[in-house]
Amino acid sequence: MKFSFNPDDLATSLAALDSTAVAANAIALQQIAAPTFAEAPRAAEMHKRFSALGLADVSIDAIGNVLARLPGASATPVLVSAHLDSVFEGATDLTLRRDGCRITGPGIGDNALGLAGLLELARVLQCAKMQLPGDLWLAANVGEEGLGDLRGMRQLHARFGSQAIATIVLEGAAYGRVIHRAVGARRFRISAQTAGGHSWNDAGLPSAIHELVRCAGQLMQMQLSTEPLVTLNIGRISGGTSINSIAGHAQLELDLRSEDSALLENAALQAEAIISSMPAKSGVKLTCEECGNRPTGAIAAHHPLPQLALVALKHVGHAGGQLSASSTDANIPLSAGCAAVCIGLCSGGNAHRMEEFIDTSTLAAGLAQLLLVVRGAFDIPVHQAA
């Protein structure tokens, strides 16, 4: 696929990119706690910054997504998004450490840097006075992580849907990857209720935690496919009152994942069958509810959008770009057969850990790739946008 950039426009835009400022903006945004379902303070900051850039139609929608528009000509619009939320709780120590090009701290790459990249994209296009073929919509969306269940992107897709020729999702620390396949997830919350009691005086009464541990043991024995891969993870167990109390309540959260929708459904049915077949005991109430359903989906490797992202990577000096699968906001448009990719802005690691880090030595190249992909996306033939 060929770029249709005017060489003068390309040179001006690339020269205007400021990776130092992007890193500084990422740090500032990372310092604003934004756990899933509590993104409002960070959303307010993004609204303020979008407004300061002079973008059109800056708003916060009914569920907390922040939107802005860079007006273009009459071509089909492009949507670029980055999620606001972090996996870390509001009381998490957000202190950062810097060591040369390495910045370490919870949420810096996932996804404070993605948000900073969204702002830089808008700033550069404004500074270069580039006339885009169509409107560019920018969205800082809620609910990508955990039990957010991609609710922010679901809302964006309901609004834009196939009206956007392409959806480009930004994750801070995924430079070199072009995610065009969606790993689906089925998530369940299994709860146990008992009367509880004293560990000595009421010895022998059923314990909610003991029942869940038995259930977890059965779940861990499930026979899952390795090709295509299906994974199982019990991500959280909570409950009980104290070490010397028989637990009266407990719950666990189960995450099943696969690219293959049929295998994922089969794994979910297996899990539900195990839970429903647990031996009934007097005084024990065991319940299961689905708490997340991320759909699978993909566009072909030869589709113009992932190919554009690979060409852009090569253009900025990264010849080893990889087409890959992951679970991101792109799941929603991909599941609907729409053109979407997720790309990263720099290298990094330890996602979802306190020691999460980014390496800003690749940031300039990642920002350049983003600029090329966004501009090139307008040239995808409309009939190939699905």
Two structure tokens written together for 228: 């295509």
In this prediction, residue 14 carries a pLDDT of: 83
Instruction: Name, in order, each residue with C-beta under 8 angstroms of 38's C-beta and a sequence gap of 6 or more.
Output: 90
pTM for the full predicted model: 0.93
Residue 56: which of 166, 3, 170, 132 has the closest Cα? 132
Q: Are strands 75-83 and 134-141 parallel, antiparallel or unpaired?
A: parallel
Name the residue type at position 314.
Answer: K
In this prediction, residue 257 carries a pLDDT of: 98
d(CA 116, CA 110): 11
In this prediction, residue 190 carries a pLDDT of: 97
Residue whose token pair is 């009266």: 248
In this prediction, residue 280 carries a pLDDT of: 84
In this prediction, residue 386 carries a pLDDT of: 60
Q: Per the omega criterion (within 30 degrees of 0), is the bond before 106 cis?
A: no
Two structure tokens written together for 111: 């996804």
pLDDT one digit per residue (tens) for the chain, 386 residues? 555 555 556 677 888 899 999 999 999 999 999 999 999 999 999 999 999 999 999 999 999 999 999 999 999 999 999 999 999 999 999 999 999 999 999 999 999 999 999 999 999 999 888 889 999 999 999 999 999 999 999 999 999 988 999 999 999 999 999 999 999 999 999 999 999 999 999 999 999 999 999 999 999 999 999 999 999 999 999 999 999 999 999 999 999 999 999 999 999 999 999 999 988 889 999 999 999 999 999 999 999 999 999 999 999 999 899 999 999 999 999 999 999 999 999 999 999 999 999 999 999 999 999 999 999 999 998 766 66
3-state SS string for the chain: CCCCCCHHHHHHHHHHCCHHHHHHHHHHHHCCCCECCCCHHHHHHHHHHHHHCCCEEEEECCCCCEEEEECCCCEEEEEEEEECCECCCCCCCCCCEEECCEEECCCHHHHHHHHHHHHHHHHHHHHHCCCCCEEEEEEEECCCCHHHCCHHHHHHHHHHHHHCCEEEEEECCCCCEEEEEECEEEEEEEEEECCCEECCCCCCCCCHHHHHHHHHHHHCCCCCCECCEEEEEEEEEEECCCCCEECCEEEEEEEEEECCHHHHHHHHHHHHHHHHCCCCCCCCEEEEEEEEEECCEECCCCCHHHHHHHHHHHHCCCCCCEEEEECCCCHHHHHCCCCEEEEECCEEECCCCCCCEEEHHHHHHHHHHHHHHHHHHCCCCHHHCC
Residue 376: which of 168, 173, 178 has the closest Cα? 168
Q: Do 232 and 219 meet the contact criterion of CB atoms below 8 Å apart?
A: yes
In this prediction, residue 173 carries a pLDDT of: 96
What domains are defined for the chain?
Answer: 7-183+296-384 (3.40.630.10), 184-294 (3.30.70.360)
Q: Do 153 and 161 meet the contact criterion of CB atoms below 8 Å apart?
A: no
